[in-house]
A and B are shown apart, each in its own frame.
Chain A
Amino acid sequence: MQGTVTIDGALAPRGTVTFYPKNNGPVAVGQIYSDGSYALRVGLGNTSNPDSAKIASGEYVATVMVMGESPEGETVAEGGPPLAGPRLIAKKYTTKETSGLTFSVKPGRNVFVLDLEGAASDPLEELKPESIEDSSSVSETDAEQAEEEKVPAVSDADPDTAVEPESTDGSDENSDVTEKSTNQ
Protein backbone atom coordinates (compact mmCIF):
# COMPACT_ATOMS: atom_id res chain seq x y z
CA MET A 1 0.00 0.00 0.00
CA GLN A 2 1.72 3.11 -1.29
CA GLY A 3 0.85 6.58 -2.39
CA THR A 4 1.72 10.21 -2.75
CA VAL A 5 0.84 13.27 -0.64
CA THR A 6 0.44 16.66 -2.27
CA ILE A 7 -0.34 20.05 -0.71
CA ASP A 8 -2.14 22.48 -3.02
CA GLY A 9 -0.74 20.51 -5.96
CA ALA A 10 2.89 20.37 -4.81
CA LEU A 11 4.58 17.28 -3.36
CA ALA A 12 4.74 17.18 0.45
CA PRO A 13 8.35 17.39 1.68
CA ARG A 14 8.08 15.28 4.86
CA GLY A 15 5.61 14.05 7.47
CA THR A 16 3.57 11.02 8.38
CA VAL A 17 0.44 9.26 7.15
CA THR A 18 -1.67 7.15 9.54
CA PHE A 19 -4.44 4.78 8.46
CA TYR A 20 -6.97 3.81 11.15
CA PRO A 21 -9.12 0.76 10.37
CA LYS A 22 -12.86 1.46 10.71
CA ASN A 23 -13.36 -1.94 12.28
CA ASN A 24 -10.98 -3.78 14.57
CA GLY A 25 -7.41 -4.11 13.42
CA PRO A 26 -3.95 -2.65 13.70
CA VAL A 27 -3.16 0.94 12.73
CA ALA A 28 -0.92 1.37 9.68
CA VAL A 29 1.64 4.15 9.48
CA GLY A 30 4.01 5.51 6.89
CA GLN A 31 6.68 8.17 6.57
CA ILE A 32 6.35 10.77 3.81
CA TYR A 33 9.61 10.98 1.89
CA SER A 34 11.06 14.17 0.39
CA ASP A 35 9.47 13.31 -2.97
CA GLY A 36 5.98 13.18 -1.44
CA SER A 37 5.71 9.40 -1.57
CA TYR A 38 4.84 7.09 1.30
CA ALA A 39 4.48 3.37 1.97
CA LEU A 40 2.35 2.04 4.81
CA ARG A 41 3.38 -0.62 7.29
CA VAL A 42 1.97 -2.26 10.38
CA GLY A 43 4.46 -2.51 13.23
CA LEU A 44 7.94 -2.89 11.81
CA GLY A 45 6.53 -3.90 8.45
CA ASN A 46 8.80 -5.69 5.99
CA THR A 47 12.24 -4.67 7.25
CA SER A 48 14.11 -6.13 4.26
CA ASN A 49 11.94 -4.25 1.77
CA PRO A 50 10.05 -1.42 3.54
CA ASP A 51 8.15 -0.42 0.39
CA SER A 52 6.47 -3.81 0.05
CA ALA A 53 4.99 -4.05 3.55
CA LYS A 54 1.39 -5.25 3.53
CA ILE A 55 -1.65 -4.07 5.44
CA ALA A 56 -5.03 -5.73 5.86
CA SER A 57 -7.66 -4.92 3.23
CA GLY A 58 -10.75 -3.06 4.37
CA GLU A 59 -12.04 0.41 5.16
CA TYR A 60 -9.71 2.99 6.67
CA VAL A 61 -9.76 6.60 7.80
CA ALA A 62 -6.48 8.43 7.25
CA THR A 63 -4.84 11.32 9.06
CA VAL A 64 -1.85 13.23 7.80
CA MET A 65 0.70 15.50 9.43
CA VAL A 66 3.16 17.56 7.41
CA MET A 67 5.46 19.98 9.22
CA GLY A 68 7.71 22.69 7.84
CA GLU A 69 11.41 22.68 8.55
CA SER A 70 12.42 23.13 12.18
CA PRO A 71 13.34 26.68 13.13
CA GLU A 72 17.11 26.84 12.84
CA GLY A 73 19.16 26.57 16.01
CA GLU A 74 16.18 26.34 18.36
CA THR A 75 15.77 23.26 20.52
CA VAL A 76 13.17 22.11 23.02
CA ALA A 77 15.78 22.33 25.77
CA GLU A 78 19.53 22.62 26.01
CA GLY A 79 20.89 19.70 24.02
CA GLY A 80 17.33 18.55 23.32
CA PRO A 81 15.63 17.79 20.03
CA PRO A 82 14.86 20.66 17.62
CA LEU A 83 11.51 22.43 17.88
CA ALA A 84 8.80 21.11 15.59
CA GLY A 85 8.28 23.14 12.44
CA PRO A 86 4.94 24.79 11.66
CA ARG A 87 2.10 22.68 10.27
CA LEU A 88 1.85 22.98 6.47
CA ILE A 89 -1.52 21.32 5.89
CA ALA A 90 -5.05 22.26 6.93
CA LYS A 91 -5.74 21.31 10.54
CA LYS A 92 -8.73 19.11 9.67
CA TYR A 93 -6.43 16.40 8.26
CA THR A 94 -4.72 15.83 11.60
CA THR A 95 -7.63 14.06 13.35
CA LYS A 96 -9.65 11.13 12.09
CA GLU A 97 -12.92 12.79 13.14
CA THR A 98 -12.37 15.69 10.75
CA SER A 99 -9.97 14.48 8.04
CA GLY A 100 -12.66 13.14 5.70
CA LEU A 101 -9.96 10.91 4.16
CA THR A 102 -11.63 7.52 3.82
CA PHE A 103 -10.16 4.72 1.76
CA SER A 104 -11.11 1.23 0.80
CA VAL A 105 -7.98 -0.90 0.67
CA LYS A 106 -8.44 -3.79 -1.76
CA PRO A 107 -6.47 -7.03 -1.90
CA GLY A 108 -3.43 -6.61 -4.14
CA ARG A 109 -1.59 -3.43 -4.95
CA ASN A 110 -3.15 -0.17 -3.80
CA VAL A 111 -1.98 3.35 -4.63
CA PHE A 112 -3.70 6.27 -2.91
CA VAL A 113 -3.04 9.92 -3.68
CA LEU A 114 -3.80 12.29 -0.81
CA ASP A 115 -4.38 15.65 -2.48
CA LEU A 116 -4.58 18.04 0.49
CA GLU A 117 -5.23 21.72 1.09
CA GLY A 118 -2.50 23.79 2.70
CA ALA A 119 -2.68 25.47 6.09
CA ALA A 120 -3.85 28.68 4.40
CA SER A 121 -7.33 27.11 4.14
CA ASP A 122 -7.65 26.88 7.93
CA PRO A 123 -10.70 28.56 9.55
CA LEU A 124 -8.50 31.25 11.08
CA GLU A 125 -7.90 32.63 7.61
CA GLU A 126 -11.61 32.95 6.95
CA LEU A 127 -12.18 35.15 9.94
CA LYS A 128 -9.83 37.73 8.58
CA PRO A 129 -11.34 40.33 6.27
CA GLU A 130 -10.89 39.10 2.73
CA SER A 131 -8.42 40.92 0.64
CA ILE A 132 -10.53 42.77 -1.86
CA GLU A 133 -9.35 42.50 -5.40
CA ASP A 134 -10.51 44.86 -8.04
CA SER A 135 -13.39 43.13 -9.73
CA SER A 136 -15.15 45.45 -12.09
CA SER A 137 -15.79 42.49 -14.42
CA VAL A 138 -17.57 40.33 -11.82
CA SER A 139 -20.80 38.90 -13.13
CA GLU A 140 -23.64 37.87 -10.90
CA THR A 141 -23.20 34.16 -11.53
CA ASP A 142 -19.54 34.38 -10.64
CA ALA A 143 -20.42 36.05 -7.39
CA GLU A 144 -22.95 33.35 -6.59
CA GLN A 145 -20.43 30.63 -7.32
CA ALA A 146 -17.98 32.27 -5.00
CA GLU A 147 -20.60 32.28 -2.25
CA GLU A 148 -21.43 28.63 -2.80
CA GLU A 149 -17.79 27.65 -2.67
CA LYS A 150 -17.39 29.27 0.70
CA VAL A 151 -20.28 27.51 2.43
CA PRO A 152 -18.79 24.00 2.67
CA ALA A 153 -15.47 25.48 3.75
CA VAL A 154 -17.16 27.09 6.73
CA SER A 155 -18.95 23.91 7.75
CA ASP A 156 -15.61 22.12 7.45
CA ALA A 157 -14.26 24.42 10.05
CA ASP A 158 -16.81 23.44 12.64
CA PRO A 159 -16.06 20.02 14.15
CA ASP A 160 -19.64 19.70 15.41
CA THR A 161 -21.11 19.82 11.97
CA ALA A 162 -18.37 17.78 10.34
CA VAL A 163 -19.82 14.76 8.58
CA GLU A 164 -18.82 11.38 9.92
CA PRO A 165 -16.04 9.80 7.88
CA GLU A 166 -18.36 6.98 6.81
CA SER A 167 -20.37 9.20 4.51
CA THR A 168 -17.95 9.73 1.70
CA ASP A 169 -20.33 9.80 -1.21
CA GLY A 170 -21.07 13.23 -2.49
CA SER A 171 -20.10 15.02 0.68
CA ASP A 172 -18.33 18.30 0.20
CA GLU A 173 -15.73 17.43 2.82
CA ASN A 174 -14.16 15.04 0.39
CA SER A 175 -14.26 17.16 -2.71
CA ASP A 176 -10.58 17.99 -2.33
CA VAL A 177 -9.48 14.42 -1.90
CA THR A 178 -8.55 12.18 -4.74
CA GLU A 179 -9.37 8.65 -3.80
CA LYS A 180 -8.21 6.26 -6.41
CA SER A 181 -6.75 2.82 -6.42
CA THR A 182 -5.28 0.33 -8.81
CA ASN A 183 -5.07 -3.38 -8.59
CA GLN A 184 -2.28 -4.95 -10.49
Chain B
Amino acid sequence: MRSSFTSFAICISAVLLLTGCGGIYDATVSGVVTLDGNPLPRGTVSFNPEIPGPSSYGQIDSSGRYSVMTGREEGLPPGNYVLTVVSNEPPTETGKNGGPPPAGNPITPRWYRSPSTSGLQYTVEEGSNEINIELTTQPPAGWQDPAKRRR
Protein backbone atom coordinates (compact mmCIF):
# COMPACT_ATOMS: atom_id res chain seq x y z
CA MET B 1 0.00 0.00 0.00
CA ARG B 2 2.72 2.36 1.02
CA SER B 3 4.74 1.61 -2.10
CA SER B 4 1.77 2.24 -4.37
CA PHE B 5 1.25 5.61 -2.68
CA THR B 6 4.97 6.40 -3.14
CA SER B 7 4.87 5.53 -6.81
CA PHE B 8 1.71 7.59 -7.19
CA ALA B 9 3.48 10.55 -5.55
CA ILE B 10 6.53 10.09 -7.78
CA CYS B 11 4.28 9.95 -10.82
CA ILE B 12 2.50 13.17 -9.84
CA SER B 13 5.79 14.97 -9.18
CA ALA B 14 7.15 13.75 -12.50
CA VAL B 15 4.11 15.16 -14.27
CA LEU B 16 4.51 18.46 -12.41
CA LEU B 17 8.21 18.59 -13.26
CA LEU B 18 7.65 17.85 -16.92
CA THR B 19 4.83 20.28 -17.40
CA GLY B 20 6.48 22.93 -15.26
CA CYS B 21 4.49 26.14 -15.27
CA GLY B 22 3.07 25.54 -18.71
CA GLY B 23 6.23 26.82 -20.41
CA ILE B 24 6.35 26.98 -24.17
CA TYR B 25 9.74 25.26 -24.51
CA ASP B 26 10.20 21.49 -24.36
CA ALA B 27 13.26 21.53 -22.13
CA THR B 28 14.46 23.22 -18.98
CA VAL B 29 18.05 23.43 -17.75
CA SER B 30 19.44 24.29 -14.35
CA GLY B 31 22.62 23.51 -12.48
CA VAL B 32 25.61 24.87 -10.62
CA VAL B 33 28.64 26.66 -12.11
CA THR B 34 31.96 26.11 -10.36
CA LEU B 35 35.46 27.45 -10.99
CA ASP B 36 38.15 25.10 -9.65
CA GLY B 37 35.45 23.52 -7.49
CA ASN B 38 34.12 26.76 -5.98
CA PRO B 39 30.62 27.97 -6.95
CA LEU B 40 30.67 31.23 -8.92
CA PRO B 41 28.88 33.98 -6.95
CA ARG B 42 27.56 35.87 -10.00
CA GLY B 43 27.65 35.96 -13.76
CA THR B 44 25.94 34.81 -16.93
CA VAL B 45 25.71 31.44 -18.70
CA SER B 46 24.86 31.61 -22.41
CA PHE B 47 23.40 28.64 -24.29
CA ASN B 48 24.23 29.20 -27.97
CA PRO B 49 22.35 26.78 -30.25
CA GLU B 50 24.22 24.92 -32.99
CA ILE B 51 21.32 25.54 -35.35
CA PRO B 52 20.12 29.09 -36.16
CA GLY B 53 18.07 30.53 -33.34
CA PRO B 54 18.30 32.88 -30.40
CA SER B 55 20.67 32.19 -27.54
CA SER B 56 19.22 31.35 -24.13
CA TYR B 57 20.62 32.68 -20.89
CA GLY B 58 20.91 31.86 -17.21
CA GLN B 59 21.78 34.25 -14.43
CA ILE B 60 24.12 32.78 -11.80
CA ASP B 61 22.90 33.44 -8.25
CA SER B 62 25.05 33.84 -5.13
CA SER B 63 25.13 30.08 -4.54
CA GLY B 64 26.33 29.35 -8.08
CA ARG B 65 22.96 28.10 -9.36
CA TYR B 66 21.44 29.09 -12.65
CA SER B 67 18.35 28.21 -14.68
CA VAL B 68 17.96 28.94 -18.35
CA MET B 69 15.47 31.33 -19.92
CA THR B 70 14.77 32.21 -23.54
CA GLY B 71 13.56 35.78 -23.66
CA ARG B 72 11.08 36.02 -20.77
CA GLU B 73 10.15 32.31 -20.84
CA GLU B 74 11.58 29.51 -18.75
CA GLY B 75 13.37 26.80 -20.74
CA LEU B 76 14.73 26.38 -24.25
CA PRO B 77 14.34 24.06 -27.25
CA PRO B 78 16.09 20.66 -26.91
CA GLY B 79 19.25 20.30 -28.99
CA ASN B 80 23.00 20.80 -29.04
CA TYR B 81 24.44 23.92 -27.47
CA VAL B 82 27.82 25.57 -27.00
CA LEU B 83 28.01 27.37 -23.68
CA THR B 84 29.89 30.48 -22.68
CA VAL B 85 30.31 31.82 -19.16
CA VAL B 86 31.06 35.44 -18.23
CA SER B 87 31.52 36.53 -14.62
CA ASN B 88 32.99 39.83 -13.43
CA GLU B 89 33.56 41.29 -9.96
CA PRO B 90 31.19 44.19 -9.29
CA PRO B 91 32.77 47.51 -10.34
CA THR B 92 34.69 48.87 -7.37
CA GLU B 93 34.88 52.51 -8.39
CA THR B 94 32.43 54.90 -9.95
CA GLY B 95 33.23 56.53 -13.28
CA LYS B 96 34.89 59.90 -13.52
CA ASN B 97 32.64 62.92 -14.21
CA GLY B 98 29.52 60.79 -14.23
CA GLY B 99 31.04 58.46 -16.80
CA PRO B 100 30.43 54.74 -16.70
CA PRO B 101 32.22 52.74 -14.02
CA PRO B 102 34.94 50.52 -15.44
CA ALA B 103 33.90 46.88 -15.68
CA GLY B 104 34.87 44.82 -12.64
CA ASN B 105 37.79 42.44 -12.82
CA PRO B 106 36.93 39.22 -14.63
CA ILE B 107 36.44 36.15 -12.44
CA THR B 108 36.10 33.62 -15.23
CA PRO B 109 39.03 32.98 -17.59
CA ARG B 110 38.79 34.64 -20.97
CA TRP B 111 38.51 31.47 -23.07
CA TYR B 112 35.08 30.75 -21.53
CA ARG B 113 33.72 33.97 -23.10
CA SER B 114 33.70 32.78 -26.70
CA PRO B 115 31.86 29.77 -28.16
CA SER B 116 34.92 29.02 -30.31
CA THR B 117 37.24 28.59 -27.33
CA SER B 118 35.02 27.65 -24.38
CA GLY B 119 34.98 23.92 -25.15
CA LEU B 120 31.63 23.66 -23.31
CA GLN B 121 29.38 21.54 -25.51
CA TYR B 122 26.20 20.02 -24.13
CA THR B 123 23.11 18.29 -25.42
CA VAL B 124 19.84 19.45 -23.92
CA GLU B 125 17.24 16.67 -23.79
CA GLU B 126 13.50 17.08 -23.72
CA GLY B 127 12.26 17.54 -20.13
CA SER B 128 14.31 18.82 -17.24
CA ASN B 129 18.12 18.77 -17.49
CA GLU B 130 20.66 19.21 -14.71
CA ILE B 131 23.88 20.58 -16.19
CA ASN B 132 26.66 21.35 -13.72
CA ILE B 133 29.36 23.41 -15.40
CA GLU B 134 32.83 22.77 -14.01
CA LEU B 135 35.27 25.47 -15.07
CA THR B 136 38.98 25.50 -14.38
CA THR B 137 41.66 28.18 -14.40
CA GLN B 138 43.90 25.73 -16.29
CA PRO B 139 44.03 27.04 -19.89
CA PRO B 140 43.07 24.63 -22.69
CA ALA B 141 45.89 23.29 -24.86
CA GLY B 142 47.11 25.88 -27.35
CA TRP B 143 45.37 28.79 -25.62
CA GLN B 144 46.95 32.20 -26.20
CA ASP B 145 45.51 35.25 -24.50
CA PRO B 146 44.50 37.69 -27.30
CA ALA B 147 45.09 40.64 -24.95
CA LYS B 148 48.74 39.68 -24.72
CA ARG B 149 49.13 39.23 -28.47
CA ARG B 150 48.07 42.81 -29.12
CA ARG B 151 50.70 45.45 -29.53
**A residues adjacent to B (C-beta < 8 A):** 2-4, 6, 8-11, 33-39, 51, 68, 71, 86-88, 109, 111-113, 115, 118-120, 132-135, 137-138, 142-143, 146, 178, 180-182, 184
Contacts and interface: CB of A to CB of B under 8 A. Distances in A.
Nearest to A34: B59
B84 interface: yes
A141 B43 CA distance: 34
B151 interface: yes
B149 interface: yes
B14 to A, nearest CB: 25
Interface of B: 24, 43-44, 46, 52-57, 59, 69-73, 77, 84, 86-88, 91, 94-95, 98-103, 113, 147-151
Given A2-B70, A9-B86, 19 more contacts: A2-B72, A3-B54, A4-B69, A4-B71, A10-B44, A11-B57, A35-B57, A35-B69, A36-B44, A36-B57, A38-B72, A68-B101, A109-B24, A118-B100, A119-B100, A138-B151, A142-B149, A180-B52, A180-B53
26 contacts: A3-B54, A4-B55, A6-B44, A6-B46, A8-B103, A10-B86, A11-B59, A36-B59, A37-B57, A37-B69, A37-B71, A37-B72, A38-B71, A38-B72, A86-B99, A113-B54, A118-B103, A119-B99, A119-B100, A132-B151, A135-B150, A142-B150, A146-B151, A178-B54, A180-B53, A182-B53
Given A10-B43, A68-B100, A133 B24 contact: no
Nearest to B99: A86
A104 to B, nearest CB: 13
Given A38-B72, A111-B70, A137-B149, A120 B54 contact: no
A152 to B, nearest CB: 17
Contact of B100 (A87, A178, A184): A87
Given A118-B103, A132-B151, A184-B24, A39 B72 contact: yes
Given A4-B71, A6-B44, A86 B101 contact: yes
A4 B151 contact: no
Nearest to A122: B100
A8 B44 CA distance: 11
Contacts of A146: 150-151
Contact of A88 (B24, B86, B100): B100
